[in-house]
Structure 1
Amino acid sequence: MSLNSDQVPVLLLKTKSAPTDAYEDLFSTPRDGFDFEPTFVPVLQHQFEDAGMRQFETLLRERQISKRPGSAYGGLIFTSQRAVEAFSKLVQEGKGDESWPHLQDIPIYSVGPATTRAINAVSQNPPLQVFGEHTGTGDVLAQFILEHYGEWYKDRPTKPPLLFLVGEQRRDIIPKTLMDTNLPDNQRIDVTEIVVYGTGVMESFPSDFASVLQKTSDRPARWVVVFSPTGCNSMLKGLGVLNDKSGKVEKSPRKEKPPTYIATIGPTTQGYLKKTFNYEPDVCSEKPSPEGVWQGITDFTKGLT
């Protein structure tokens, strides 16, 4: 890895997407007076959960996810690309039936553009019907589902349950919103969660992160972009700002040399840092996207001058 001393390092705590990565494309292009150098430091490792995968596969093969009356579920929810990967794996394994996986007549809800692109890449003929690309957060997606799903099944007094494919760690805002007991019976939607993947910190992350920090230690400033609560502990330890006894941040990384600024992809990770480590990140992206992170970092930087 070669880092240009005239550029501001942006350490992206994620696995680089293939074949291209939108964060790399955006942050490696100088514009508006900013010249960043993105570096990927993978923090998460994922593995499919066998029990959840088998349960989901059975539902697909028995066609229990459809618009037909009596089906177990009337739609699907995805809020992570890892869940889409689990779905795609089962679809590929079930190839041979022309209409597999038989989901052309149901709504599939996606939390944003990246997840939507991943779902649309899953082969299905006719194509899958995906909604929610514009929402961006689970809160907004849940409100959208209440209206859209209600209209989709407006001829039924009780809406069929939705199936939500999730990881071990997730927010519960979508099930809470859709199953709110304050909602009228004809609007409330039951949600079943199936855990199809687990997430953990890569064993190599602490050493990989320490190596990048050492290589950027001569810079006037640098940024760390955090995409998930997983790995926050190792990240703060690596920066040397976490008190081992209290488990809280005892000094701001922006006051160290070089000053290190922290940006989060959204409010979930921001809230986790505040609640768990008593640390307020410098930037919380208003939109969970490369453009949102870039805007947050550049707006904050302008405010420093």
Structure 2
Amino acid sequence: MKVLLLKEPREGANGPDPYFKELSARGLKATLIPVLSFKFVSLNVLSERLFQPENHGGLIFTSPKAVEAVKMSLDTYNKREEWNVVKDQWNAKTIYVVGKATAALVEELGLSVLGEDTGTADDLSRLILQREDSRIKALLFPCGSIKREVLPTALKRNGIPLDTLTVYETAQHPDLEKNLLDYFTQQGLPASIAFFSPSGVRFCLEAVQRLSGPRLSQIKFAAIGPTTADAMAAAGLSVSSSAEKPTAQHLASAIAEALQ
């Protein structure tokens, strides 16, 4: 059975995209279509703040793209050697992350993380509130232009200072419509379609509905987590499965179970 994953393929040192591998291991044929395009911004400001750890109480990362922005800022301004010194000052503070994928990228920067088992910004905000109080210096929060306000709102409500910096802007992938049309034309109706963000739902839904036509109800729709599932439900989609945790293994298991 065919599964359409509305996400950017991520091939690394360990081979094909982990979602592709996990679904293939369960006898499912996965195709990945990138939904979003990204533009990094304010890297000069990010670089300045990264090299002033004394002004902050810690770091927060809720997306892999935010970590990529840090790496790009270090490379753009030739700060890798200096980072080897400064990272120890950051490690004396707390580096908060959401999910294992983001955690792995942060660890590549030489930073020790807390929160990799949290699956949402809601979970992470609760963890931060358990550990911090209003006496802490502002937590540096590099993030995207499209972000949920759950974490900033929760911290503000409890007096935790936050230094929010937009380091990437999110837009619809320029080839999204064409790639979706090509997929439905060449491969037909997928047994399942998985969404990976509320933005993905917003950018893809109309095209998916149009291309599926009256057979839309035959598709089992899957979500990477509760936030995306909520966005799908709000858009009128029936969510057949949602990953227990935002990992390839958990999503593949949820999809396979829904398709039994």
TM-score class, shorter-chain normalisation, is 0.7 to 0.9
Aligned-partner Cα distance in 1 for 2:116–2:239: 27
The unaligned stretches of length 5 or more in structure 2 are: none
Equivalent pair of 1:270/1:280 in contact (CA under 8 Å) = no
Taking only the aligned residue pairs, the percentage that are identical comes to 27
Equivalent pair of 1:106/1:129 in contact (CA under 8 Å) = no
1:55 aligns with 2:55: no
Offset, 1:270 = 2.1
Moved more, 199-208 or 88-97: 88-97
Q: Residue 211 of structure 1 corresponds to which residue in structure 2?
A: 182
**Which of 238, 245, 252 is equivalent to 1:287?**
245
Q: Residue 92 of structure 2 corresponds to which residue in structure 1?
A: 105
**Which of 68, 79, 91 is equivalent to 1:94?**
79
Q: Residue 124 of structure 2 corresponds to which residue in structure 1?
A: 141
Q: Residue 5 of structure 1 corresponds to which residue in structure 2?
A: none
Offset, 1:282 = 2.4
**Which of 194, 198, 222 is equivalent to 1:229?**
198
Alignment RMSD: 2.3
Equivalent pair of 2:37/2:170 in contact (CA under 8 Å) = yes
Offset, 1:197 = 0.2
Q: Residue 231 of structure 2 corresponds to which residue in structure 1?
A: 272
Superposed counterparts of 1:257-268, under 5 Å: 259-268=218-227
Aligned-partner Cα distance in 2 for 1:146–1:233: 31
Equivalent pair of 1:165/1:195 in contact (CA under 8 Å) = yes
SS at match of 2:117: coil
Aligned-partner Cα distance in 1 for 2:244–2:73: 34
SS at match of 1:15: coil
Offset, 1:211 = 1.0
Aligned-partner Cα distance in 2 for 1:283–1:250: 21
Aligned-partner Cα distance in 1 for 2:104–2:185: 36
Aligned-partner Cα distance in 2 for 1:48–1:58: 16
The unaligned stretches of length 5 or more in structure 1 are: 1-7, 151-156, 243-248
Offset, 1:252 = 6.8
The structure where helix makes up a greater share of residues is 2
SS at match of 1:103: helix
Aligned-partner Cα distance in 2 for 1:74–1:54: 20
Equivalent pair of 1:91/1:100 in contact (CA under 8 Å) = no
AA at the equivalent of 1:99: V
AA at the equivalent of 1:56: L
1:81 aligns with 2:64: yes
Offset, 1:250 = 9.4
**Which of 102, 105, 108 is equivalent to 1:118?**
105
Q: Residue 167 of structure 1 corresponds to which residue in structure 2?
A: 144
Aligned-partner Cα distance in 1 for 2:151–2:86: 28
Offset, 1:193 = 1.2
Provide closer, same or farther for how the CA distance between residues 15 and 79 of structure 1 changes in structure 2, counting only shifts above 3 A. same
Equivalent pair of 1:83/1:167 in contact (CA under 8 Å) = yes
AA at the equivalent of 1:15: E
- Which structure has more RCO (C-alpha within 8 Å, separation ≥ 6)? 2
Equivalent pair of 2:40/2:167 in contact (CA under 8 Å) = yes
Aligned-partner Cα distance in 1 for 2:152–2:208: 36
SS at match of 1:28: helix
Aligned-partner Cα distance in 1 for 2:203–2:135: 46
AA at the equivalent of 2:21: D
Deviations 1:183-226 (A, max 9, x none): 4xxxx311121100011111111111111112222x6x521111
AA at the equivalent of 2:101: A
| TM-score of the aligned structures, taking structure 2 as reference length | 0.88
1:17 aligns with 2:10: yes
Q: Residue 253 of structure 1 corresponds to which residue in structure 2?
A: 216
Moved more, 163-172 or 225-234: 225-234
Deviations 1:258-291 (A, max 9, x none): x32211112222222333x333332222221112
Equivalent pair of 1:76/1:108 in contact (CA under 8 Å) = yes
Offset, 1:237 = 2.7
Aligned residues between the structures: 253
| TM-score of the aligned structures, taking structure 1 as reference length | 0.76
Larger-Rg structure: 1
Moved more, 208-217 or 95-104: 95-104
